[in-house]
Amino acid sequence: MKPLLVSLSLVLGVGTAAAATPVGSGYTQPVFLTAPTGDSRLFVVEKAGLIKVQQGGSVSTWLDISTQVDTAGERGLLGLAFDPGFASNGRFYVDYIDKTTLNTVVASYTVNASGAVDTGSAKTILTVAQAAGRSNHKAGWIGFNAADPGNLYIATGDGGSSNDPDNNAQNLDSNLGKLLRVTPGSNGGYTVPTDNPFVGVAGNDEIWAYGLRNPYRNSFDRQTGDLWIGDVGQGAREEVNFAAAASGLGRGANYGWRVREGTIATPGIGDPTPPNLTEPLFDYGRDVGGTVIGGYVYRGADASLNGKYVFGDYVTGDIWSYSGGTRTALDSPFGGFQLTSFGEGGDGSLYAVGIDGNIYLLAAAVPEPASALLLALGLAAGLLTRRRRS
């Protein structure tokens, strides 16, 4: 079934959420933020190859692989995901572009008993060959879904250049322009889940979905397991794809690139209908923005955002919520060419990350504690009531 198509330029809600709260600054080109479930720390990924950990106002370097990472163009350290069993096995995963080969590498690391990263524990899980001489469209998001335990999802861009000249996104013999799904091995490498759509048929076994251009930032809804993909457009449309966990999580879906850009035929390519086409849930034109930054469905105490998908645009710095076909503008702390990512804390709090080195809390996961004044007033009222009754 095709989803209801929505042009965001036509449906605009009115209203804003509470102003963003600054929680971090001084980072160097941060591109992602995440945390293990239940962890109060924030783990901030810097493009040059560092992961920093922030606990309150204290920031320290947690992992430094800068000597291994190429940072030209859209290359860099681009993704971080914590193993679902991180609390017991200490394992996490990174996605980066290797300085020597210029290929995508997904590797695992573990922490020691004190919580420090054991740099000697590095194990390569998977590599994806990149075309020589092209430094864009590397995507880099990786993530686990609580609704699909143990399987790691890996987003890859089409490898770069205009109009995907190698037709990677539609080529099922290439792992570029795809969403991959593998089961990482504890000692490196991976196995392929037997229910991946191209196991036993034509196409690479690792592929879960295809037809993507540059799915740079994606997420799973922490409550439902649904998948949201923010796929950066070329010159006309930016798109967000959606796959419900209850309907197969987009197994085998073809999101249309390179012949489709959002809901239109890619200018200059023509209008063939690719097989198994899944249209985006919604898209928007260059009159609205220029580079979609996929976000998260917020689950928390802010009633104005609870259950809504929060996303933004790098070119404009705008941030919106989306629900039921309506895009609602939110207060954004960023100007144009600053917003690089959204992130979830270990408690589900929602954050926005800027390439300028600043991090903001957009919405807390739990109600803010009552102020000391309110507590004092409540205590005084209670004492007065008891005295009147005695």
Buried b (16+ CB within 10 A) or exposed e, 336-367: eebbbbbbbbbebbbbbbbbbbbbbbbbbbee
- Residue 389's pLDDT is 36
Give the count of domains, the chain: 1
- Residue 12's pLDDT is 52
Question: Could you tell me the residue range of the domain that residue 222 belongs to?
Answer: 6-389
Structure tokens that stand for 312 in this block: 């933004």
pLDDT single digits (tens) 4-54: 444 554 355 545 555 799 999 999 999 999 999 999 999 999 999 999 999
Q: How far apart are the first and last CA of the chain?
A: 68
CA 203 to CA 224: how far, in whole Å?
29
Structure tokens that stand for 259 in this block: 């012949």
CA 300 to CA 57: how far, in whole Å?
23
- Residue 372's pLDDT is 37
* Structural domain contains residue 1: no
- Residue 269's pLDDT is 85
- Residue 18's pLDDT is 56
* Structural domain contains residue 11: yes
pLDDT single digits (tens) 92-109: 999 999 999 999 999 999
Please, which pLDDT band fits residue 56 given cuts at 50, 70 and 90?
Answer: very high
Contact between residue 347 and residue 365 where contact means Cβ atoms under 8 Å apart: yes
Q: What is the DSSP letter of 365?
A: S
Please, which pLDDT band fits residue 390 given cuts at 50, 70 and 90?
Answer: very low
- At 86 the three-state DSSP class reads helix
For range 205-229, the mean pLDDT: 98
* Structural domain contains residue 232: yes
* Structural domain contains residue 224: yes
- Residue 382's pLDDT is 39
CA 225 to CA 247: how far, in whole Å?
11
Indicate the range of 9-23, 75-89, 243-257 predicted with least confidence. 9-23
CATH, residue 114: 2.120.10.30
For range 64-92, the mean pLDDT: 98
Q: Could you give phi then psi for residue 78, rounded to 5 degrees? A: -120, -20
